[in-house]
Each structure stands twice: as C-alpha cells, then as structure tokens.
Structure 1
Amino acid sequence: MSSNIDLGGSIPSLTAHAVSVSLPTWTDNIDYEEGAKRVMDKISNGYPRFYIHDLIAIFADDIVTRCCSEGTRSGNQKAMLFPSRKAAERCRDFIVNTTKTEPAKVGLAANVKIIDLCLDNKSSATHLRAIAKKASPSVSAVIFHEDLFPIAKQYWQHSGDGISSRQAEFCHALFEEDMLVMDSATTAPVSQTQQQSQPIVNHKRGPKRYRRDSVTDHRRTSPEAENKVMIESKKTALDDKHNAAADSRESTQFLEERFGRNLDLSFVNNARIAIRRRLAGYLLEEVDLTSTAAVKQPNPQPNSRGVTGLSEDDVYLYPCGMNAIFNTHRMLLAVRGQRKSISFGFPYVDTLKILQKFGPGCLFYGHGSSDELDDLEARLQAGERYLAFFCEFPGNPMLKSPDLRRIRQLADKYDFAVVVDETIGNSVNVQLLPHADVVVNSLTKVFSGDCNVMGGSAILNPQSRHYLPLKRAFDADFEENNYWVEDVLFMERNSRDFVARIRRINDNAEAICHILQVHPLIKDVYYPKYSPTKRFYDECRTPTGGYGGLLSFTFHRKEHAMAFFDRIETAKGPSLGTNFTLTSPYVLLAHYWELEWAAGFGVPADLLRVSVGVENVEDLKARFAVALEAAEAIGSGSV
C-alpha cells in the first residue's frame, strides 16, 4: 500500500467501496474532526458507520424526491436507508424515544414515515429482473424532517443497521429503471390531496445513476462537528463530483455487465456457509463455492474454537461488527429481561453507546482493572444483578486483556452472560469462546484484510447455560438478507487466506514493537505481549498463536508524535486489521470531543496506533526508522 494517498482519498486508493480515508497529517485529523472546509471538500469516503457514502446519500435523496408529496419534499425531508422493514422501524422508534425529552422535536418525530421498496415483478425488463431477483433487493427508507437528522445519524452509527454502499449502488440502478418500486402492501398509500400535488418527476434523465437536484452532507458524526461543516460548499462539491462520474455508464448497462456476467450471485449461499465454517474453526483452507457438498463436507478434525458441539449454525453474519454487538444486546434483553449490562475496559465508542442508549443502561468500568472486578464482585455479593458483561480481548487502543477466567467464574455464580469482542485478538491467536456465551467480531478488520467490505459475526457457545434461549431468540429474529449479497461474496473471497496473513502480521508487529521499545524518544509501547495483563492473554492464547497486529505507543513530547506521524510512510486513516500497515492518531479521531474524559482512563490524546500489515518486514522497519529520525530532528527538549 502506497503512503502517497492525498488528503481525502480512499484507502485503498481508487476503491469505490473503501472502508478507510486518507488523513495524512496530524493537522488533517484535527481539521477533519472540526469539519474544516479545506478537509471536508476533499473527503471522498470514510468509515461507513461514521460517514454515509455518497452512493447511499444520493439514493436517499432520490427516494425523497420521487416518493414524497410536494408538501413534505420542499427541501426539508431526509431519508435513512435500511435493508429491512424491521431495521427501519427500530430507527423510527429510536427517533421517537430520543425526542421525548426535546419538546420542539416531538411533533416532527410524530411525522416520521417509512417507505418500503421492493422488486417489481411486473417489470417489462425480464432479463434485468432475472439478474436482480438473485439478490432479493429491498430497501426501507425512514423519511423525516431534516432537523431530526443528527438523531437518525446516531442510530445509523451506533446500530450498524444501515444499507451498504454496494447495496445502494445496486438498488439505485433498479430504482432508476422503475424496477424497484414502493411496496403497496407495507407502505401507506398517498392521500388524494398528496396525489394531486405530486409534481411530474422526470426520473428518466440520463446519465441516470448520478443525476440529482442537490446533495446535502450526511457525513459528520457529532453534532458539534456538523455545525461546522459548510453545507452549501458541500452541495456544490458533491454535485460536481457525481456529475463528473455520470458519464461512466447507464443503469441498464451497469446491471447487465456487473451482475449479469461478472458476479455470479447464485453462489452467495455457499459463500455464507464458507464464512460461517471458517469462523466456527472448521474450514481454514480455500473451497470450491460451486459445490455445496465441498463447502459443507464434514471435517474430522476438532474445531479451533475449543468448544465441543459448535457448528456453523451457531454463527450469525451481520452487515458489520457493531451490528453484531447491537443485535446480541437486543437478543439478551429479549431473553433475560430489562437489566443493566456491564461495559468493562476502555470501550470502542459505539459499544458503550449501545449499552447506554438501548435499554436500561450500563455499569461502566473504563480502566478494565482487577480493582474494578473487585468492585463488581462486591456489588454482586450485595445483590445487584446484571444482563451481560461486555469486553474486548484485548482492548483498543491500550491492548490490555481482561481476566476472562475470573469473569467467567463470576458470571456462572451470579448469572450474567459474557460477550467478548475478539476483533483485535482473533481466533488464530486466542481461544475465547470457552470463556464466553457469545463471541462477536468485526469481520471488516483482519478477517477481510482488504479494507473494501464490511461484515460482522456473533458466535453462540453451545456449552453456555444461556445457549438454548439465545439460540431460539437469534433464529427467530435473524434476517439473513440484511447482509448484502455482494458484500458476502467479497468477504468470502478476502478471508480465504486469513490464517496465513495473521501469522505474518503477528511477526511483523513484534518486530516493530522492538524498534519502538528501544528508542529513547518513546515513552510507552502498548502491546499484549508487553502488557501488565500478559498473563490473562496467555491463558487464552492458542498453541501457535501470537499477539496480534495492533499496537499503540506514545512519545515523551507531543511534538515528536506529530513529526513522526507526518513523516511515517504508511497509509494513514481510521480502521485496523488491514493487509497494509495503517497508522492513526486514534484518540484524536475516536474521542476528539471527549479527550479529557479519555485521559481520565489513562488514554492520552497524543497516542499513535499502528495496525501492522503483511509487508516485507525489513522495508517496514526502514519506514519506521525514517519516521523516528524525523522526530529526532526537532530536538529532545523537555516535556
């Protein structure tokens, strides 16, 4: 991966559905968080839950233009797009519940609508319908007043329920061919007055896929940042960008070429099975997707998860890792009742938000320490009871590992579930399922590696005391098609060599840690192998497992960190687990509006996080040496 990616360019470069975005200097990261025009005008994409892809934003606005009445379409209506009616209803309910404490918005929330779009089986384009039918395309749009956008965006970000950019691209093409239409069975009919006022919309304009009247900025995460974005400039920039792309091809040609010949969607069910078997620890090699027998062929070897009775049927695939966490929490609430959960360790931002906003709340232990486990045990002994214990193994970005053996003992004694996020540790390096009731994973990261597709999983432990009720709940609620078929196919392809990649990444990360540890300008290096919690990690480490590809470090002076970051010749942007090395001032990006809060848990604002890739190790070491020299060049000085 070249380090010469301009500000705002996709990571990987020239990738339409890239998961990361280039922020190559320290100042770029700060200006991105503050919504500076010089940065926002150049942003072409971003991490999909934080940044709504242009393909999604354009499709959403076109649905509003065509499907809403004139009275509600005069520039004040927005839409959020979801893969199912149930997901859309959850978004609507979140908007209604959140606005209960905001009297000025209660009336607006009462008018939130849902429009369902489905494939028109009466379409005259028979050949295109046959292509589209393989994908089972459908979209549910939540329509709301623009003043409610920050609330709807919270739901999009926290839940991970929204559609992917690939699904938006596919479905928008159908929509413009009049093949994806409003579902009369679920969408309330337009009133006679609305019908009379509905203007004639020439939606047969061409080139079709990128034509629109206006685009508004759907991207910023925090309300503080949204207030700083130059909306009118963004409209102009996006219109210019998409009108330039309009000459690429028409919708019909797009459907026929991409989905008719180049991508065989008939293999998607086998791809799902292959992914689930890989995650269950049975299928660790490539497989012929054209043969169901080959995909499901029993493996006489025990699975690598360390739990007997586990099958691919205990693995559930979701559109992203946060969606797996969100749905696991929903299922636990459905099965075990309305109890608070426990968030243990410095959290990935949206895990904590899910536990706080969707249900009765949570008990937060931000240090992830033994002292906090002592406090929890005292509360349990005093009669307090909890729904579930959520933690990462190891944590991000401090790479500390929780004491899963003790946590498991407390869970068994005091009857709460344990949910462990294995994204950073991964199943090649650690066996976590024996200690957990549910293991969740962001497949977007190292399982995929290519940084071009999202995905998530939840694995149920068949030996858990909670297994049977959870299994019934998951099976009853699970919507397989919410994980878009194209994304499934890309994920299966990307993950075929994940075992070999992880082992190489382990070795590279240790080599980089050694360089950093011996350098006099470095204050601390955070890595599971050198953590005070190493013994907890080692208790779960597989016989051939390493310590992962993620590490963090700090300099004695902020100026050294800035000089190093600006000079390091790696890709620089959000996300982790990529096949290429990716460097980020993580705390600035994830907690810019709460840096003091993060510092209170020992997480410094000038921390640098590195996700090490599979590059040649000598080349990688040389790049770090050059960046360290840049830090040395500004002098040592005092803190």
Structure 2
Amino acid sequence: MSPRDLLHDPCWQGKDLGQPLPDATHAVSMTLPRWQDVIAYEEKDPACRKALQTIYPRFGLHPLLQELSVQMAVDGLTAWPFSTEAAARAAQAHCQRQEPDGHTRLTRDETLVALHTDASTSPHAKAFWQHTGLGASSRQAAVALGRESAPAPATAEAARTAVRQRLAAIHGIEAHRISLHPAGMAGLHAALSAIQSLKPNRPTLQLGFPYVDVLKQPQVVFHGGELLQGNNLEELKDALERRDPAAVIVELPSNPLLRCVDLPAVAELAHRHGIPVIADDTIGTGLNLRALPHVDLIFTSLTKSFAGRGDVMAGSLLVSPHSPWSDQLLTAISPVARLADGDAIALEEASRDVDQRVPQLDANALALAERLERHPAVARVQHPKDCPHFLALMRPDGGHGCLLSLELKQGEAKASRVYDALRVCKGPSLGTSFTLACPYTQLAHYDELGWAAECGVPSHLLRVSVGLEDPGELWERFRDALDA
C-alpha cells in the first residue's frame, strides 16, 4: 500500500499535482488538488498532463500501458493492449463500424493482443477503451514488460473463487451466478452482450441522471440508449411501449445525485412488458441494499468500496435467481476478457475486510452529511438518507454508502475556494479508505455543463467519497475550508 499515510497526510496542495492516489504502482486515481488543475486537466493543458504520474485506467493509458503500447507499436500505428483476442476483436469491430475506411490490425505477443489503429480509428479505440473497461490492466503490463513476475495460475484461480464466494455471501446467492471482469464497465459490457440473446439490436433505457459511461456504453458501443429523467411511471410506461428497449438500466443510487428510482414499481412495469432490468449497485453496495428480488442483472465496480484501496481495477456481474430469464442469461454470459491473475489476487487481499470497512465508511459519510447540512455556507447536501426509494431497498442492518454531494450558496466562486482549501485527497474515483473529493461535474461533463445543469447537476457540485478518518477531525477539515 501507499507509503504516504493518506488518512493523516492527504494529497491536497498544489505541490501534490499528479501524485498517484494511493502512492502505489497500480493506483487508479491521481491528485488534482486545485480547481485550476481540474480545468487544466480537462483542457488538456500540456503542463498539467505532464505532471500526472498516472491516470484513471479507463480514461487513458496507465504509464506501464503507455510504455507497453510504444513497445508493441508497428508501422506508425497506435497500439492498444488487450488481454484476449476476443476483447481486441470487439474493439476492432467497433472501430470498423465507426470508421469503415480506417485501418486496423491485430498483433499478439507472448501474453497480450494489441489492436493497432490509424489516426482515423484511434479516437474510436479510445472511446471503446473508456466505455467498456476491457483493456489490459497495469498489472498485466508490468508482467509483459518484465517488471513483475507472473502469478501462479492456481493462486489466481483460488483468489477468483474466494472473491466470488465473498460476493455470494453478501448477496445471498450461489457463487456460480457471479462472474468477474476487468472493470465495472466490463461487467456492463457482459450484461449488454447477454441481453442480446433476449432482445437483439435494441437500444436501452436509462432511468435518472447517469454516470457518464453507464449511458455512453449502450449509446456508443451497442445499439443506442435513451435517457429518461424523473420517476414518473406513466412516462416510463410510454417509453417502454414506444422504444421496446433491450433493457432498463438503473443506478442504486445515481451518481452524483444519490437518488434511486422506485425499483419494485419500475421492475414490475418493465417485466410486464418483457424487458429485463440491469442495476449498478457500486455506490449503494450489496452489503446495504437488497435489489436482487427486483432486477435481473447487477453489475458492480469492485474497484470502489469492495476493494477500498484504490489500486486494483475489477468488476462483477450477478444474475438474479429471481429473474424470469435467469437460465438464459446464465448461458448467454460469455465475457470477452476475465479479471487478470494479478488483479484477482490483489482484489481478494483488499476485500478481506469489506464487511467491517464498508459499514464504517457509511457511518462516517452519514455523520459528515448531517454536519454539512447545518453549515450556513452549504445550500444543499445530496445523500441517500433523504431518498425514500433507497431506504425502501435497505437491508435491516444496512447503511447508505460512502458518497455525498454538496452545493454551496455562492456557487462556483465559493466552491473553487473551498475545494482549494480542503485538506483531503482530491481526484476521481470513490470508495477508498481515505476521503476523496472532486468537482464531479467538471470532471465528468466538462463538455456538456449546460446539459448537466438542466438535469439538476450544477457545474460547482462537489462530490465527496468519505473515508476512514476520525469523523471529528474530518469535519474540522471541512469546516475550516468552508470558513476560509
């Protein structure tokens, strides 16, 4: 783990720009400590980008993958490393659909397969990489470059088995209903691929303001996706009849507004129309929510609260035993890439304390949300405790998740000052043991801030993933920043 104690010595100042979070080879986040750094990152400012020692793995190539890409490059083409030929061919097919006259080719080395793209197809390869999470991992790159030893296959398989059993115990289902993937979005890719066996070549319907790639993957990689705001069941009924979607997709809760749809009512209506429901429970977690009776598939980014360390990418896909299509979906799920050996071992080690760690994260987030609501500078706090539909899904001993969002009364001018003064780690991702804050809308929707604002997500919204710091000390940090 990180040699820097991020609970007590967070990366929050200008001098920390670009530091990996945590300070580890395979960190999945990086420090963007000031508002101006976030803008510079989005504007692709060369000085900012040069300072980054890593990047969120789906948003770009990890330094080890960049090095491997250069090593695998041929004929001046850009190389995109994948762990399997099936994943590389899926990326190639996407590029060819988007740019039929472009040039692509595949090559293989001892362990990985590279998709090579020309200038016209590279943007589409990058989009596939981001939206699906199917690219090779930094640990696979480290092995391919000779920086790390390949794990023993038997050890890795034992780790995968242990993780599936851990998830099965959380959800109360059989382990064979769970598959593991290189990222949460790769779990969604497997879900959308399996849904094709039920309703081929149909768009999806997303309910509520979406996490960007949950919406973009169906829209860009599959057969389209429509977004339906609000929780009006009559509007949903009309949309189901008008679009006949392949599936309804919901987030439990949504990111960053932290709201749930009326899941039992939505599922009943969708199933009545013969349409399956796919849920993302990354934020709410299976420890807190009982969603399986209502949904057909659940995908989760295990990178987040399940692992908690911020140094491993992984995802899962669960087939509900209550689904009327349970057997068909189990047969149809055929991932094009599985969780890599090194990542499986890291995930198993990191998640051993998930039963104890997640409830503490949840309790700390609730305590901070309640204190923030009473501060005179705060206009609104978004937290699942205020969503009756979330509360209706909670397990008797469940919590609300580790995430909250806040808006300040003086808008972006105040938000930027508070963000700069806030003494917590600052960057993308969530669910880490250390608190992690970011101006979410700026990072996720920089090119569509007006649209996000129309959806109730202002440009100055701050999202906070609450960690394991002492709650009293953490509040002092927030109070000091708000009073600055």
Kindly state the Cα deviation for residue 336 of structure 1 after the two structures are TM-superposed: 2.5
Task: Say whether the 8 Å CA contact 2:208–2:231 is kept in structure 1.
Answer: no
Match of 1:386 in 2: 245
Deviations 1:5-37 (A, max 9, x none): 610110112x11101000000110001100112
The 1-side partners of 2:38 and 2:207 are apart by 28
Q: 1:370 aligns with which of 231, 234, 240?
A: 231
Kindly state the Cα deviation for residue 360 of structure 1 after the two structures are TM-superposed: 2.8
Kindly state the Cα deviation for residue 38 of structure 1 after the two structures are TM-superposed: 2.2
Task: Say whether the 8 Å CA contact 2:211–2:255 is kept in structure 1.
Answer: yes
Match of 1:46 in 2: 55
Taking the TM superposition and a 5 Å limit, the aligned residue runs for 1:17-416 are 17-64=26-73, 68=74, 73=75, 76-100=76-100, 106=101, 109=102, 111-118=103-110, 138-173=111-146, 254=147, 258-259=149-150, 265-280=153-168, 282=169, 304-305=170-171, 310-365=173-228, 367=229, 369-371=230-232, 373-380=233-240, 382=241, 384-416=243-275
Q: 1:573 aligns with which of 421, 424, 427?
A: 427
The 1-side partners of 2:139 and 2:269 are apart by 43
Kindly state the Cα deviation for residue 322 of structure 1 after the two structures are TM-superposed: 0.6
Match of 1:207 in 2: none
Kindly state the Cα deviation for residue 540 of structure 1 after the two structures are TM-superposed: 0.8
RMSD between aligned alpha carbons?
Answer: 1.5
Kindly state the Cα deviation for residue 428 of structure 1 after the two structures are TM-superposed: 1.2
The 1-side partners of 2:118 and 2:426 are apart by 36
Match of 2:20 in 1: 10
Kindly state the Cα deviation for residue 388 of structure 1 after the two structures are TM-superposed: 0.5
Q: 2:383 aligns with which of 508, 518, 527?
A: 527
Match of 1:607 in 2: 461
Helix, strand or coil at the partner of 1:351 = helix
Helix, strand or coil at the partner of 1:80 = strand
Kindly state the Cα deviation for residue 624 of structure 1 after the two structures are TM-superposed: 1.2
Kindly state the Cα deviation for residue 264 of structure 1 after the two structures are TM-superposed: 5.2
Match of 1:623 in 2: 477
The 2-side partners of 1:266 and 1:489 are apart by 11
Count of equivalent residues: 473
TM-score under structure 2 normalisation? 0.95
Task: Say whether the 8 Å CA contact 1:305–1:432 is kept in structure 2.
Answer: no
Helix, strand or coil at the partner of 1:41 = helix
- Structure 1, unmatched stretches of 5+, are 101-105, 119-137, 174-253, 283-303, 631-639
The 2-side partners of 1:378 and 1:59 are apart by 49
Task: Say whether the 8 Å CA contact 1:318–1:324 is kept in structure 2.
Answer: yes
Helix, strand or coil at the partner of 2:369 = helix
Match of 2:3 in 1: none
Change (3 A) 1:358 1:151: closer
Percent sequence identity over matched residues? 34
Match of 1:552 in 2: 405
Kindly state the Cα deviation for residue 265 of structure 1 after the two structures are TM-superposed: 4.9
The 1-side partners of 2:239 and 2:189 are apart by 26
**In the alignment, is residue 424 of structure 1 matched against residue 283 of structure 2?**
yes
Task: Say whether the 8 Å CA contact 2:82–2:136 is kept in structure 1.
Answer: yes
The 1-side partners of 2:355 and 2:473 are apart by 22
The 1-side partners of 2:95 and 2:238 are apart by 37
Task: Say whether the 8 Å CA contact 2:292–2:322 is kept in structure 1.
Answer: no
Deviations 1:340-360 (A, max 9, x none): 211111111111111112333
The 1-side partners of 2:392 and 2:10 are apart by 37
The 2-side partners of 1:429 and 1:611 are apart by 16
The 2-side partners of 1:467 and 1:116 are apart by 36
Task: Say whether the 8 Å CA contact 2:128–2:221 is kept in structure 1.
Answer: no
Deviations 1:279-308 (A, max 9, x none): 11x2xxxxxxxxxxxxxxxxxxxxx536xx
Deviations 1:40-92 (A, max 9, x none): 1101111100020121111122122xxx4xxxx2xx31111111111111111
Task: Say whether the 8 Å CA contact 1:265–1:486 is kept in structure 2.
Answer: no
The 1-side partners of 2:369 and 2:338 are apart by 40
**In the alignment, is residue 595 of structure 1 matched against residue 449 of structure 2?**
yes
